[in-house]
Amino acid sequence: MTVIAGRYRLLDVLAEGATGTVWRALDGTSGHEVALKESRVPPGLPADEVPLLHARRERGARAAARISHPSVVRVLGVVTDDGRPWVATELVRGLTLAETLEAGGPLP
């Protein structure tokens, strides 16, 4: 099993998108399962812009960590591994938005 930043053990992939992969992971410190987002670099991005991209994503995650609202997933932390930021959030179980729309049609 792969361990990120000496703390998060990757269990399985939950979702993949243009900006990264979201993993179900086990937090070795708390013992809780979390969602851990791996930052992906877009193909063709010049090498000198990669650190800027990572810094921007890390700033965004740290800003999101300051949000406290019952309808917003809580950011638990941001770590760096192999030069890339990884964002840990609480793991929310249930249907995706796409699955909800497919099952019930458009939202009111």
Q: What is the pLDDT of residues 35-48, one digit of tens each?
A: 999 999 999 999 99
pLDDT-derived band of residue 98, with 50, 70 and 90 as boundaries?
Answer: confident
Residue 99 DSSP SS3: helix
Q: Which domains does the chain have, with CATH numbers?
A: 3-104 (3.30.200.20)
Mean pLDDT for 49-60 is 92
pLDDT-derived band of residue 93, with 50, 70 and 90 as boundaries?
Answer: very high
- Please give the model's pTM, rounded to 2 decimal places: 0.85
Contact by Cβ (8 Å): 22, 37: yes
Which two three-digit tokens encode residue 101? 């729309």
Mean pLDDT for 87-101 is 92
